[in-house]
Chain A
Amino acid sequence: MTQTNSTTKKTVTTDKSLPRRHSPRDNARNVDFLVKISNILAKSLDIHALLEEVIDQIFYFMKRIDRGAILLLDKDTGELKEAVSKVRTSNHVNARINWSRAVAHKVIKEGNPVVLSDKSHEYRSGSLGDIEFDGILSAMCVPLRYKGEIQGVIYVDSITLPGGIRKDDLRLLSGLGDTTAIAIQNAQLYEDLKEELNERRRAEEALIKANRDLEETRDMLVQSEKFAAIGRLSAAIAHEILNPVNIISMRIQLLEALEGISESIRKPLRICKGQLNRIVTITESLGRSSRTSEKRRVIADLNETIERVVDLIAPQLRVDGIRTHVELHSGLPLIPMDKERIEQVIFNLVSNAAVAMTGSENKVLKITTKPNPQGSVLIAVSDTGAGIDPGDIDKVFDPFFTTKDPGEGTGLGLFIAYSIVQEHAGRIWAENNESGGASFYIDLPIERTPKRS
């Protein structure tokens, strides 16, 4: 601290020869330094941040040095790597310095601190050749040692002050080396621990994902098992249902063929025929393997399809006291669809809504369409019925799920709707709405999507 540029001809040897007493100021400095460093070391578990702090403090307390680096030994390769370095003239930590490899390696090899000045024997003998070459006038290097194992070194030097390193600087740096070594070890352990935790977390995440995949696969299997069961049943069902339907149908046709039948009889006969056709369509959709052929899909206007269904069912809705609001978006893009099957979906949803409102005072059916900016069209069918029990909201599309009285519903309507929407690569879901009823949404893609396998 007392040195100035004009009185710099002292050497390390001179320092040694003079028994020195620490000035109170030096002691204060040293204590201050160690306290600061200890605080840093205790706090920091990030090796790099820790070493940066250490080197900053070294520069702050050792005014005579103008370059410094902390070098760590790579345990695997035995290579000495610069962890941090600093040059006084530069504000940047990590301004790379050309530290003396010879000095560092000597410390690593022998395990003792080395202090050099331009006057020392090694310096002059050239045994540490690169020092002179780099114009280093004084250098000091201490090992970072933990439990006898050398982790690296702290290296500082001066290219401006010859013989500028004092003995208590060495003591300070040596002490610092030990503390830093412990801190590095801690940080290393911490990093290892962190890595272990990360690994564990990754393993846990992988496990969770595997679990989720497994659940999804299981759900899919259950779903396809359901489909398969439906497929097996459907042929039998179709046969069993269509035979009596066939007889009724032929009888109606025979009645219609009779001469002199009044319109008051023809009309109900027509309705009967229409209803029989419904049955046929349902059995047909059940009987057909759950996918329609792409061939049946045409680019069509969804609004038209909806209007057709509403026209068909409107008389029945009026009889049931249901007011119908249809709000169809005029700019709806055309979509590829099997018109008959989509009609069936709408029909099923509307029928479902009508039945859901049986006990309601205010019966309003609302059907809306609108384009979805994500490249699809959204259909909503809302009723003012009693809504869906939250526990049932995932089950409503299951085959044979019904809350209707026995004989009133087959539990297939929504399942068929679901299957058809799936065939069209769309999405169908149910929500309870503000009026206490249920809303069913269908999202159908505008683009023809490749059929899912």
Chain B
Amino acid sequence: MGRILVVDDEIEACNALEEFLNLKGHEVYTALDGPTALAKVQEVRPDIVLLDMIMPGMEGTEVLKRIKEFDFDTSVVMVTVVAEENKAKKTMELGAFDYITKPVDLGYLENVLLVKLLDTAD
């Protein structure tokens, strides 16, 4: 199973995702803002970052760019509200691995993660 960093400015969103991912046997870390997230990425080198698009302070897109600059083997999955779907699609060009929309379908999320993790395992 993977090492996953959940980044969302809403603590309850982080908690729910953490609980779910823990249930699925992943190693889960959380961050409530961009700078914390970047520090965590350097610290724990996660396989996957679940990154909220809209956050106060540093936006998800900016966090994504910086993570990509680290040149770690870290995949980023953007999490966005439906209305921002078009913006999320554009993050794929910036190097995001995928995007999922809020409300998050946990079953779908698990599939996305598994696909990436299996990919990496190969």
Q: A residues within 8 Å of B by Cβ?
A: 234-235, 238-239, 242-243, 245-251, 253-254, 257, 276, 280, 283-284, 286-288
Contacts and interface: CB of A to CB of B under 8 A. Distances in A.
Interface of B: 10, 12-13, 16-17, 19-20, 23, 54, 81-84, 102-107
Contacts of A254: 16, 19-20, 23, 106
B82 A250 contact: no
B81 A243 contact: yes
Given A239-B54, A257-B23, A246 B104 contact: yes
Nearest to A245: B103
Contacts of B19: 254
B83 A247 contact: no
Contacts of A239: 54, 81, 83-84
Q: Pick the most buried of A235, A239, A246: most chain B CB atoms within 10 A of its CB.
A: A246
Given A283-B82, A287-B83, A242 B16 contact: no
Contacts of A288: 83
A250 B16 CA distance: 6
Given A234-B83, A254-B16, A284-B83, A243 B106 contact: no
Given A242-B103, A243-B102, A257-B20, 20 more contacts: A234-B83, A239-B54, A242-B83, A243-B81, A245-B102, A245-B103, A247-B16, A248-B103, A249-B103, A249-B104, A250-B20, A250-B104, A253-B105, A253-B106, A254-B19, A254-B20, A257-B23, A280-B82, A283-B83, A286-B83
Contacts of B103: 242, 245-246, 248-250, 276, 280
A134 B19 CA distance: 120
Contacts of B17: 250
Contacts of B13: 243, 246-247, 250
A419 to B, nearest CB: 15
18 contacts: A238-B81, A239-B54, A239-B83, A239-B84, A243-B10, A243-B102, A246-B102, A247-B12, A247-B13, A250-B16, A250-B104, A254-B19, A254-B20, A257-B106, A280-B82, A280-B103, A283-B83, A286-B83
Contacts of A286: 83
B28 to A, nearest CB: 14
A242 B102 contact: yes
Contacts of A250: 13, 16-17, 20, 103-104, 106
B82 A287 contact: yes
Q: What 5 pairs across the A-B complex have the smallest Cβ distances? A: A287-B83, A249-B103, A238-B83, A246-B102, A250-B16
Contacts, number: 67
Interface majority SS on A: helix, strand, loop or mixed? helix
Contacts of A248: 103
A167 to B, nearest CB: 102
A253 B19 CA distance: 11
A403 B103 CA distance: 30
A23 B52 CA distance: 119
A247 B23 CA distance: 17
B16 A284 contact: no
B81 A247 contact: no
**A239, A250, A287 interface centre (most CB from chain B within 10 Å):** A250
A287 B88 CA distance: 14
Q: Most A CB atoms within 10 A — which of B20, B82, B103, B105?
A: B103
Contact of A235 (B20, B83, B105): B83
B66 to A, nearest CB: 23
A445 to B, nearest CB: 29
Max chain A C-beta neighbours (<10 A), residue from B102, B104, B106: B102
A222 to B, nearest CB: 25
B10 A242 contact: no
A235 to B, nearest CB: 5
Nearest to A253: B106
Nearest to B23: A257
Nearest to A234: B83
A296 to B, nearest CB: 14
A253 B104 CA distance: 10
A432 B12 CA distance: 47
A250 B21 CA distance: 12
Contacts of B105: 253
Contact of B82 (A242, A253, A276): A242
B27 to A, nearest CB: 19
B83 to A, nearest CB: 3
Contacts of A246: 13, 81, 102-104
B88 to A, nearest CB: 13
A210 to B, nearest CB: 41
A276 B105 CA distance: 12
Contacts of A257: 20, 23, 106
Contacts of B16: 247, 250-251, 254
A243 B13 CA distance: 8
B98 to A, nearest CB: 17
Contacts of B10: 243, 247
B36 to A, nearest CB: 19
A305 B19 CA distance: 39
B77 to A, nearest CB: 15
Contacts of B102: 242-243, 245-246
Contact of A284 (B20, B54, B82): B82
